[in-house]
Amino acid sequence: MYGTQWPVVLLVTPLVGAALTPIIARRRAQLAGYWALFTFSIVSLAAAALTYQIHTQGEFSYYMGGWAPPIGIELRFDEFSASIAVICLVGWLSLLYCLGYAKHAIPERRIPYFYALMLLCLGGMNGFAVTGDIFNLFVFLEILSLAGYALVAITGDGIAELAAFKYLVMGAISSLSILLAIGIMYSLTGTLNMTDLAVRLSDVEPFPAAVAVAALTLGFCVKAALFPLHIWLPDAHSIAPSPVSAVLSGLVVKVGVLGMLRMFQILYASQVLDLTALNNVLMWLGAISIVMGALFAMVQDDIKMMLAYSTISNIGYIFLGLGLASTYGIIGASVHIFNHAIIKACLFLGAGSLIHQTGYRKLSDLRGVGKAMPITSAAIAVGAISIVGIPPTAGFLCKWYIALGAIEADRLFFAVALLFGALLIFVYYIRMLNAFYFMPPSHPEILEVGEAPLTMLIPIVILAILCLVMGIFGRIPLSFIEPAVINMLAPIGG
């Protein structure tokens, strides 16, 4: 039947496209960009079609090659899988941005590999979002992580390689931990399929299951850079080329969160463990992440470093929402997975343009850039206001829902912590806006630079508009997520 093969397109196209990139760009490196964009456009089309299908007919499964599990590979498209829409949106815009950016920022002979790695990373993420069994979850996780390590190091600077190495070490630990958990689960239940797992886990020994859950949580928390497991993030995200930072900060860290959501889906359904303790830990770590991320960000002068620390705060929001385990809380957390991806991509791409045009990356050097690059600066300002959660921007929804969730769960303290934490975040964003708009330039020649080329400007503007639109039309993502969360919490009477 026409259209039913979209899942294959979604997963296979980026892999094939990535493999072909170095061949196609053998003679002219710049061709790689167009090829990658073309390939990813097809992937995005598939993602759009699949998201629409989820929207119209609800949850459905796809069996690779028609083989039903346990033999075949199951792809499961539920509401959380709809994150492929955001992955493709941000990914596509970042690739478009690369067309203008890569020329100067990345050594020419590495450009084909750069695009190949981008495709792998994004394709791996799509796979992670839609896979229905935990072993493939691990496989896709490795694909995207390995591509991520390489992308951080792609410029070949000494510092970049060091940052990538740090990222690699932490990433390897988390991967091992996840693999261990998968092994334990398989030996306990004899299945890798998530739906089966949910059923079979309900009558296993609680202790080994608890070990598996702990290992999974550890693994995913490292990937998500939850405090105190965040140490790899600031360097990796600030040193990487800006479009890579956008993808890493907006999307790749969310892999950890999506993984947690998948784990919770299984655990809530099977009710094998009492999750109160785990949720408490997540809540506290989330709250601490918000505050610590903000405090670290406050003392940064490097614009990308600041944005990287702000990611840690935002991951804190999401984990706080997850840990609350109340309907509103998890809705808030899930919505923020999408919204933060858009906001942070907007900010990182914007910062990339500033650095690309002016050659400076410190706030004290970038003073007065608001007059030189008005559109980019305005987009960054919108992103900043959005990430702080001033209504009616995208960031507000998450704050509102998690606050409601905290009150619903009778934990007013966390609502207070969240809202005041958000205020701390504003302190450093206002420093940035002050530098852009209200301070005399420290390098007068900065006023001479113009806007970045259109391929870089357009993605930023689109993302900035989305920061506003996703807030005002917050119903759209919510209509997706709300039933999923209610389903997920149904077994524990949420």
Partner 1 sequence: MEVVDIRPLLAPLLSLFCGILVFAVGERTWWRRFWSLSAAVVKLALVYSMLPGVLDGKIYSYSLIEFTPGIGLAFRVDALGMFFAIVSSSLWLITTVYAIGYMEQEHERARFFGFFALCVSTTVGIAFAENLLTLFLFYEMLTICTYPLVVHEETPEAMKAGRKYLVYTLLGGVFVLLGCAVTFQWAGTLSLSTAGILPASVGKQGLSLLFAAFVIGFGVKAAIMPLHGWLPSAMVAPAPVSALLHAVAVVKAGAFGIMRVVFCVFGVELLRDLGITVWLAALASVTIVLASIIAMTQDNFKRRLAYSTISQLSYIVLGVALLTPLAALGAIVHIANQAFQKITMFFVAGAIQRTTGRTNIHELGGIGYQMPFTMGAFTVAALGFIGVPLTAGFITKWYLSLGAMEAENGWVFVVVLITSSILNAGYWLPVVYMAFFKVPPGTHLHIKEAHWTLLIPTLICAVYVILLGSFAEVPGMPLSLARTAVEFFFGL
Considering only the stretches 103-111, 131-139, 223-231, 407-415, report the one whose residues sit in contact with partner 1 under the rule CB under 8 A: 407-415
- Cβ distance 254 to 129 under 8 Å? no
Indicate whether 290 belongs to the interface with partner 1 (CB under 8 A).
no
Distance CA 136, CA 120 (A): 15
**CA-based nearest residue to 245, from 362, 367, 113, 98:** 98
> Which residue among 391, 441, 453, 491 contacts partner 1 (CB under 8 A)?
391
- Cβ distance 380 to 435 under 8 Å? no
The vertex-241 CA angle with 297 and 232, nearest 5°, equals 50
Indicate whether 461 belongs to the interface with partner 1 (CB under 8 A).
no
- Cβ distance 54 to 6 under 8 Å? no
- Least Å distance between CB 413 and partner 1? 11
- Least Å distance between CB 293 and partner 1? 18
**Closer residue to partner 1, CB minimum distance, 52 or 473:** 473
Indicate whether 482 belongs to the interface with partner 1 (CB under 8 A).
yes
**Closer residue to partner 1, CB minimum distance, 137 or 424:** 424
DSSP conformation class of 450:
-
Considering only the stretches 59-67, 270-278, 403-411, 484-492, report the one whose residues sit in contact with partner 1 under the rule CB under 8 A: 403-411
Indicate whether 392 belongs to the interface with partner 1 (CB under 8 A).
yes
Helices vs. strands in the chain: H and E counts, helices first? 20, 2
**Closer residue to partner 1, CB minimum distance, 6 or 328:** 328
**CA-based nearest residue to 112, from 193, 17, 254, 2:** 17
**What sign does the dihedral 158-99-383-130 (CA atoms) show?**
negative
- Least Å distance between CB 395 and partner 1? 12
- Least Å distance between CB 72 and partner 1? 38
Q: Beta partners for 76?
A: 61
> What phi, psi does 62 have (nearest 5°)?
-130, 130
Distance CA 276, CA 263 (A): 15
> Which residue among 166, 262, 361, 399 contacts partner 1 (CB under 8 A)?
399
> Which residue among 36, 229, 330, 397 contacts partner 1 (CB under 8 A)?
397
Q: For residues 417-456, which are near partner 1 according to CB under 8 A?
A: 419-420, 422-423, 426, 430, 434, 437-440
**Closer residue to partner 1, CB minimum distance, 254 or 399:** 399
> What phi, psi does 133 have (nearest 5°)?
-135, 150
Indicate whether 407 belongs to the interface with partner 1 (CB under 8 A).
yes
> What phi, psi does 106 have (nearest 5°)?
-125, 135
**Closer residue to partner 1, CB minimum distance, 141 or 422:** 422
Distance CA 132, CA 151 (A): 27
Indicate whether 26 belongs to the interface with partner 1 (CB under 8 A).
no
- Least Å distance between CB 443 and partner 1? 17
Indicate whether 416 belongs to the interface with partner 1 (CB under 8 A).
yes
Peptide bond into 107 cis (omega under 30): no
**CA-based nearest residue to 144, from 167, 174, 119, 163:** 119
x/- string (CB under 8 A) for partner 1, residues 152-191?
----------------------------------------
**What sign does the dihedral 20-26-28-29 (CA atoms) show?**
positive
Indicate whether 400 belongs to the interface with partner 1 (CB under 8 A).
yes
> Which residue among 23, 169, 472, 492 contacts partner 1 (CB under 8 A)?
472
Residues listed for the chain: 494
- Cβ distance 199 to 270 under 8 Å? yes
- Least Å distance between CB 438 and partner 1? 5
Indicate whether 413 belongs to the interface with partner 1 (CB under 8 A).
no
Residue 177: CB atoms within 10 A of its CB come to 20
> What phi, psi does 280 have (nearest 5°)?
-60, -45
Indicate whether 483 belongs to the interface with partner 1 (CB under 8 A).
no
Considering only the stretches 5-13, 37-45, 338-346, 393-401, report the one whose residues sit in contact with partner 1 under the rule CB under 8 A: 393-401
**CA-based nearest residue to 99, from 403, 418, 448, 453:** 453
**Closer residue to partner 1, CB minimum distance, 22 or 392:** 392
- Least Å distance between CB 423 and partner 1? 6
> Largest Cα–Cα distance of the chain, in whole Å?
70
**Closer residue to partner 1, CB minimum distance, 121 or 424:** 424
Parallel, antiparallel, or unpaired for β 74-77 and 60-63? antiparallel
> Which residue among 45, 49, 231, 478 contacts partner 1 (CB under 8 A)?
478
> Contact residues for partner 1 (CB under 8 A)?
385, 390-392, 396-397, 399-401, 403-404, 407-408, 412, 415-416, 419-420, 422-423, 426, 430, 434, 437-440, 472-475, 478, 482
